[in-house]
Amino acid sequence: MDIFLQQLANGLTIGSMFALVALGYTMVYGVMRLINFAHGDMVAASAFVGLTIYTQVMGQATSLGAVIVIFLLAALTMAVVGVILERVAYRPLREAPRLSAVVSALGASLVIQNGIMLIWGPRMRIFPELVPQVYWDLGGVVISLIQVIILALSLILMVTLYLFVEKTRMGAAIRASSIDQDAARLMGINVNNVIALIFIIGSSLGAVGGLFIGLYYRGITFNMGWQYGLYAFIAAILGGIGNIPGAMLGGMLLGLFNAFIAGYVSSTWADAFTFILLILILIVRPTGILGERVAEKV
Amino acid sequence: MKMAKMLLALAAVTLLAVPALAADTLKVGVQAPITGSYANEGQGIENGVRLLAEQINAKGGVLGKQIEVIPCDDQGTAMAAAICAKDLVNKGVSMVIGSYTSTAAEAAQKTYYNAGVLQTSDGTADSLTEKGYWTFLRNSFPNSAEAEFAANYMVNVKKYQRIVVLSDFSTYADGLANAAEAAIKKLGGKVVSRDKIKADSQNFTPVLTNIKSKNPDAIFFAGYYTDGGQLRAQQMALGIKADFIGGDANDNPDFVKLAGSAAEGAFIINVPSPDVLPYEIAKTFIADYQKKYGEMPPSIWGLMNIDGMRAIIHAMEQNKSFDTKAAADYLHNMAEPLPGITGPIAFAKDGNRKGGAYVVKRIQADGSYANEYVQ
């Protein structure tokens, strides 16, 4: 039982990181019908940006205030990069066949990944210990402070995002654009602004995910975006791509699935089982767990 | 027909180009992970080779020839290593220094053997010297020597009762872990679990949670520092009280940085680190290295490779010939070992470096090492 609960805690921590990253995929897909393959690399870039802010801007300060400033600055930087990415790589191709946009996304992914390598070098960079190593032993299950922070902050961000999309006027504009861009435009919604907003929100949530990866695992490499991007992409499909609560659920479920497979079957097989799960979902329920969208509009 | 003509033309150009280039320099290939997870080590090897070549060239070169260094990045992977091997052979090198990982060294071995190019690597996997290639010279000590030392330390010195042996899937790590497991059992110790992790996967808590349930008093990790540092941090985060004993590839400053405050108390088994090498030649070379690059060599592995290169060049000078077979024969039958940066160098007939000098180092609160047990 201890092992089960411990794997549950492990799975939820990693799952909430997947969920934060998955939101970026799902929101862009929801409005633009485009898989933003560069998103994983944006997440990796945010970890490096956060590290540079820590060493260059904050002068290696480790107070709580400094950590909050690092999060805000990194999220802001990545939001700007996200908007630039949309303007440069996706907007010119909005009317083009969908394949062109996907190829452009893959290209953007390579540009960002190699950009990180050129700026920060090919070596693994190491994050400072910004969160004190505090642990609680709850009857055999050990939970660390960083796990609690990751889980709590992820949940707060996800609930806020959900309320924003469901309850505000801007949220209604996002939902309207995701249903039908032309009709939304006729209703006086500026779809370009909505898309920019989607990239701002998705990129800054991804930035928080990237910083969590840095804080939790400490080692960051220029090519790690691929791995996390792929997992988050699977999480988004699992929950139903284009569906915001679906991405949150998909991320959590994928984290748990991974932890239990690695724990009870074999860590070697965790990736293989994840992809088998993806294939099964695509065969049995292609719209994902929460996706109710009717196939494709023509 | 057109295609055939083009190929013919291409072949002619290649044939003409190679001898023209191979004229008056001694070409030394460096096959190392210059990018990727082990870039730190790979760049250390390249820097070291360039420094040594510079020093030899300043003294007039080898038998009158200047050394030309030709690097190739194998990223620590077998696939890139095989490409590097072909590339370096095509460029006409007579020796190759590296690579850092056994996997990459092994993937390149056959190409060098077929071309008669000498290869010296710090790869410690036993399988590297089991193929009977006269071209391969191991400049470190094989896994089996380290495994026996580690097993003796864990079973007889520390008297651990419940040992977990953990590795990744690489040639080196798996080989070392299997050898250690066998050696522990031979000494009457108990291995409660033999687990494997996927290198670079970062999330090791599921495996560690299983290990925790076995209630071990020691975890022996054969694998690389990038995973080792994170394993140690996650081990402490899960409250596993076992001692962490890392194999030689954990010996890198990044291990301590990755593990952070959890690093204290971890043990690492290796040959001595660069800063404590007692030999005069080591002190001068490391001082020169620091002067040129503004930092210490990342670990002893780069220096082992430098010793391999020094040995080959020494053999060529003694033979007064650039013949690689003669150089290998000389090195396999040396009467007196050559004084090296990492200790006396001499090779056994199978290409293994003779001897072995391991220490167990304990990581202190400030991240420095203290020698705990010396062979």
pLDDT tens for each residue of B336-368: 889 999 888 999 999 999 877 788 999 999 988
- Residue in chain B lying closest to A123 (CA): B39
pLDDT in tens, A226-242: 889 999 999 999 998 88
Q: Is pLDDT above 80 for B13? A: no
Measured CA to CA, the distance from residue B119 to residue B85 in angstroms comes to 10
B254 CB neighbours in chain A (<8 A) are 124, 126, 219
Mutation site, A3, A7, A218, A254, interface B, largest B CB count within 10 A: A218
Q: Are strands B95-97 and B66-73 parallel, antiparallel or unpaired?
A: unpaired
| Min distance B332 CA to chain A CA atoms (Å) | 37
Q: In what order do the strands lie in the sheet with B66-73?
A: B66-73, B25-32, B95-97, B118-121, B136-138
**What is the C-alpha to C-alpha distance for residues B235 and B239, in angstroms, rounded to an integer?**
6
pLDDT digits (tens, 9 = 90+) for A94-130: 888 988 999 999 999 999 999 999 999 888 899 988 8
Peptide bond into B261 cis (omega under 30): no
Least trusted range by pLDDT, from A159-173, B6-20, B30-44, B162-176 = B6-20
Domains of chain B as residue ranges with CATH: 2-141+278-332 (3.40.50.2300), 143-270+358-374 (3.40.50.2300)
Chain A neighbors of B236, CB-CB under 8 A? 133
Average pLDDT of the residues in B121-139: 91
- Other Cβ atoms closer than 10 A to A239: 29
Average pLDDT value for residue range B193-219: 90
| Total tally of structural domains belonging to chain A | 1
Among A12, A55, A123, A266, most B C-beta atoms within 10 A, so best to mutate, is A123
Q: Does A107 touch chain B (CB under 8 A)?
A: no
- For A157, the token pair is 């961000």
The whole-angstrom separation of Cα A164 and Cα B24 is 72
Contact B350, B328 (CB under 8 A): no
Determine the Cα–Cα distance for residues A214 and B233; give it in Å rounded to an integer.
13
How much is the average pLDDT of B258-273?
90
- Minimum CA–CA partner of B203 in chain A: A217
Report the C-alpha gap between B97 and B302 in whole angstroms: 10
Chain A residue with minimal CA distance to B208? A263
Q: CA B275, CA B297: separation in Å to the nearest integer?
A: 9
Residue A193 CA to residue A195 CA, distance in Å, equals 5
Of the candidate ranges A11-20, A77-86, A119-128, B91-100, the one whose mean pLDDT is the lowest = A119-128
Pairs across A and B, CB distance < 8 A: 92
Q: How many other CB atoms sit within 10 Å of the CB of residue B373?
A: 16
Q: What range defines the domain where residue A60 resides?
A: 15-125+135-224
Residue B4 confidence class, pLDDT cut points 50, 70, 90: low
Compute CA distances A28 → A38, A109, A170, A248, B182, whole Å: 11, 15, 15, 15, 54
Q: Has residue A90 got a pLDDT over 90? A: yes
Q: Are strands B163-167 and B136-138 parallel, antiparallel or unpaired?
A: unpaired
- Predicted confidence (pLDDT) per residue in B269-302, tens digit: 988 778 878 888 999 999 999 999 999 998 888 9
Q: How confident is the model at residue A43, as a pLDDT? A: 96
3-state secondary structure of B230: helix
B225-244 tens-digit pLDDT = 999 999 999 999 888 999 99
Give the mutation candidate from B224, B257, B295, B299 for the A interface (greatest A CB count, under 10 A). B257
Instruction: Decide if pLDDT at B12 tops 70.
Output: no
Residue A230 distance to chain B (closest CA, Å):
13
Which tens digit of pLDDT belongs to each residue from A197-210?
999 999 999 999 99
Inside any domain, residue A259: no
Q: Which residues of B touch A123 (CB under 8 A)?
A: 39-40, 43
The residues, ordered by sequence, that sit 6+ positions from B181 with a Cβ below 8 Å of its Cβ are B165, B191, B194
Q: Which of A252-256, B10-14, B264-268, B334-338 has the lowest mean pLDDT?
A: B10-14
Does the distance separating the beta carbons of A126 and B258 come in below 8 Å?
Answer: yes
Confidence tier at B145 by pLDDT (50, 70, 90): confident
The answer to whether position A45 is within a domain reads yes
CA A225 – CA A233 distance, rounded (Å):
12
Query: Which phi and psi (to 5°) does residue A142 adopt?
Result: -100, 125
**Predicted confidence band of residue B329 (pLDDT cuts 50, 70, 90):** very high
Which parts of B67-135 fold into alpha helices (H)? 78-90, 102-115
Angle at A276 between CA A212 and CA A228, to 5 degrees: 20
Instruction: State the best of B75, B210, B232 to mutate against chain A, taking most chain A CBs within 10 Å.
Output: B210
CB proximity list for B243: less than 8 A, separation 6 or greater: B158, B160, B217, B218, B219, B265, B266, B267
pLDDT value at position B124?
85
Task: Note whether residue A263 is domain-resident.
Answer: no
In a domain, A81, yes or no: yes
Q: Which of A265-279, B11-25, B131-145, B237-251 has the lowest mean pLDDT?
A: B11-25
User: Residue A192: is its pLDDT beyond 60?
Assistant: yes
Contacting residues of A for B262, CB less than 8 Å apart: 133
- Residue A230 lies inside a defined structural domain of this protein: no
Of A144, A213, A263, the CB nearest to B237: A144
A290: confidence class by pLDDT, cuts 50, 70, 90: confident
Arithmetic mean of pLDDT over chain A: 90
Mean pLDDT of the residues in chain B = 89
Q: Which residues contact B363 (CB under 8 A, 6 or more apart)?
A: B256, B263, B264, B265, B266, B267, B268, B369
Q: Does A142 touch chain B (CB under 8 A)?
A: yes
Residue A237 belongs to a domain: no
How many other C-beta atoms are found inside a 10 Å radius of the C-beta of residue A137? 10
Q: Count CB atoms within 10 A of the CB of residue A144.
A: 23
**Residue B113 contacts by C-beta under 8 Å, 6 or more apart in sequence?**
B131, B133, B134, B135, B136
Q: What is the pLDDT of residues A3-62, one digit of tens each?
A: 889 999 989 999 999 999 999 999 999 888 889 999 999 999 999 999 999 998 888 777
Which pLDDT band, with edges at 50, 70 and 90, does A293 fall under? low
ipTM value, please give it.
Answer: 0.83
Q: According to the model, what pLDDT value does residue B316 have?
A: 95
Which residue of chain B comes nearest to A5, CA vs CA? B209
Q: Does some domain include residue A32?
A: yes
